[in-house]
Amino acid sequence: MALLVVLASFASGVLAQTPKKPDPKTKPPVGKGLASKPAPPPPPPPIAKELEEEVASIAAATGARLSASEHPVFDCASSLSRDETLIVVDGAEKAFAVFKEISGVSGPAEMFGIKKPLLVILPGAESYKKLGYWYEKAKGRPGMGDAVANSTYFPFDSPRCLIGMHLKPSDAVGLAHVAAHETGHLCVQRYKFNSNYSPPWLCEGMGAYLEARVFGITNCYCFSPGGAQRYGAADAGAVLEKLSDLQFAKWKTAVKAAAKSRQLKTFANFIPLQLSELGAGEVGKAWSMIDYMASLGPGKVGAFIGAVKRLWPAAVVYEHTPAKTAAQEKAILEVFGVEVAGFEEQWRAYVMAKY
């Protein structure tokens, strides 16, 4: 620490000196001397005690070595180096900024409360599987352990907002995509929170939309046609191999062609689908619906999600019900002033003109 202080004051002393005129006869030393060395990075700011304790509790339960860090929207518990952690966190922070823009939400506190959502980056599947059981016990959510054990990443919406993920077989850049995508799920689940299930097309569409807006490429999918719902299910699956590192522009072209030839399921037909029943076509329609809503003005996407939550049936049921379709149809009429079929034709015209 003392050395850091000395170096820092020496470096700032060097910078403060009046620059001398260079002597053309003497070559400046290459890669040598203190002046050419970058100043040492400042030490990380102190971490809130509550976060330190929570991260220590997760580390103890998962057996992973984790460092806590605080960021504008998210907190982080990471097994990565500080620089790599920043790459992952940046994906989530940027995704939230896009959601803020399209939803009109005032800020993270409106959605998450006083505690920032926590990104947990674990080193591998073994420690990751223990995260759900820690959550189940520490946060009183039975069943979370088994649900998480069957995935490679997971958005926990309540009572503690948290995104869990692990490094195998990914890396910091891959996890930045996961962080942006899962932020999409967390945003749909938490915005105007109703403590009930959110429409799967909207959750998955928002994940893909935010990831595409942040990176221009999508690489993270939860849906696996024919398989069980599993966050991260498609990442390792050859079924969707053609979807890895998919350029957003390319996906737009495909959606445009499908919209033109009316190959895609109608909105009314894909509203009832569960995550496990969504395919690339439906997800392309889902994010392009969100994109169209966003094009109608700032806050329109938020107004739609808010109306869906307000009109949502009170019964907490995982499966789709007709009341869930009715809530979404009413929300479209209320926010956009047209019936679903009319809204769908507007979407088609937008996609064909813009994509």
State the residues that interact with Zn ion by CB under 5 A.
204, 207, 222
β-sheet bridge partners, residue 166: 122
Smallest gap from residue 322 Cβ to Zn ion (A): 25
Judged by beta carbon, residue 200 or residue 306, the one nearer Zn ion is 200
Q: Which of 239, 249, 241, 242 is nearest to 217 (CA)?
A: 249
Residue nearest to Zn ion (CB): 222
Nearest to 165 by CA among 56, 295, 78: 78
Beta bridge partners of 46: none
Whole-number minimum distance, CB 153 to Zn ion, in Å?
Answer: 9
How many Cβ atoms from other residues are within 10 Å of residue 2's Cβ? 6
Shortest Cβ distance from residue 287 to Zn ion (Å)?
A: 11
Judge contact between 156 and 189, C-beta under 8 A. no
CA distance 322 to 306: 19
Distance CA 9, CA 31 (A): 21
Residue with smaller CB distance to Zn ion, 75 or 204: 204
Distance CA 309, CA 199 (A): 10
Q: Shortest gap between Cβ of 244 and Zn ion (angstroms)?
A: 15
The H-or-E segment that residue 112 falls in is helix 108-112
Residue appearing with tokens 């520490």: 138
Q: 202 vs 259, which CB is nearer to Zn ion?
A: 202
Which CB, 207 or 272, lies closer to Zn ion? 207
Of 251 and 343, the one with the shorter C-beta distance to Zn ion is 251
Q: Nearest approach, Cβ of 251 to Zn ion (angstroms)?
A: 15
Rounded CA separation 286/347 (Å): 11
Using the minimum distance from each CB to Zn ion, give the nearer residue, 172 or 188: 188
- CB-CB contact of 245 with 219 (8 Å): yes
In whole angstroms, how close is the CB of 135 to Zn ion at the nearest point?
Answer: 19
